[in-house]
Chain A
Amino acid sequence: EDQVTQSPEALRLQEGESSSLNCSYTVSGLRGLFWYRQDPGKGPEFLFTLYSAGEEKEKERLKATLTKKESFLHITAPKPEDSATYLCAVNSGNTGKLIFGQGTTLQVKP
């Protein structure tokens, strides 16, 4: 059964304190791994898609990496506006079905 596990569940950082969020996955055949950001009361906002092990993508203070078993979302020198829940999802078939993890809620304090 396809499964996605994110850790930690919650993370508190001081502004400027870099850290990483983890997404471990078990799928029968990975076709894509997605990172989304979700603010309270809003829908998820697309950040990155990673397709194969070794791939990396960056956007401002965020960098996503992928191995055969997990993905990391590295946050460099975070700011309070980076506070949100970060969701990881995998696509393993042709139906478009995404399997989501529970998310990591990040709080960045000034």
Chain B
Amino acid sequence: ETGVTQTPRHLVMGMTNKKSLKCEQHLGHNAMYWYKQSAKKPLELMFVYNFKEQTENNSVPSRFSPECPNSSHLFLHLHTLQPEDSALYLCASSQRGSGGVDTQYFGPGTRLTVL
């Protein structure tokens, strides 16, 4: 595997289900991100993890729960979602340096549909 991988690629769930999205980066990076991409809207940052520590939570509802067990893996746990949460969920990673601007590399995304 190379780059950033995400599983599953497609997910359909009911509002009462619990599911998890998985992201793995094979680039040796130390920062990982979750983004939400809804139709006709800009990519929206959800969470940032720097060296496994959450450094940003962009006012995301508690029904989304991130987990970063190590610098290569990132999860997004989902529970009691709403239909408006249907979107493409993108994971990205980057190498954060001291003062430099890092480039984020994205995975292919998980297309989530909430019924």
A binding-site residues for B, Cβ under 8 Å? 4, 31-32, 34, 36, 41-46, 49, 51, 87, 89, 91, 94-103
Contact = CB atoms under 8 A, between A and B. Distances in A.
Contacts of B43: 44, 87, 89, 98, 100
A45 B45 contact: no
A91 B33 CA distance: 14
Given A42-B108, A96-B94, A102 B41 contact: yes
Contacts of A96: 31, 33, 48, 50, 55-56, 94, 96, 102, 104
Interface residues of B, number: 29
Contacts of A89: 43
A45 B102 CA distance: 15
Nearest to A43: B106
B42 A100 contact: yes
Given A43-B4, A44-B90, A103-B42, A91 B105 contact: no
Contacts of B103: 34, 46, 49
A73 to B, nearest CB: 16
10 contacts: A34-B104, A41-B111, A42-B109, A43-B90, A43-B109, A44-B43, A51-B101, A91-B101, A96-B48, A100-B44
Interface centre among A34, A44, A95, A99 (most CB of B within 10 A): A44
Given A41-B111, A43-B109, A96-B50, 20 more contacts: A4-B42, A32-B101, A34-B104, A36-B106, A42-B108, A42-B109, A43-B90, A43-B92, A43-B106, A44-B90, A45-B106, A46-B103, A91-B101, A96-B55, A96-B56, A97-B48, A98-B45, A99-B42, A101-B42, A102-B41
Interface in B33-70: 33, 40-45, 48, 50, 55-56
A95 B55 contact: yes
A99 B45 CA distance: 8
Contacts of B31: 96
A95 B50 CA distance: 9
A23 to B, nearest CB: 12
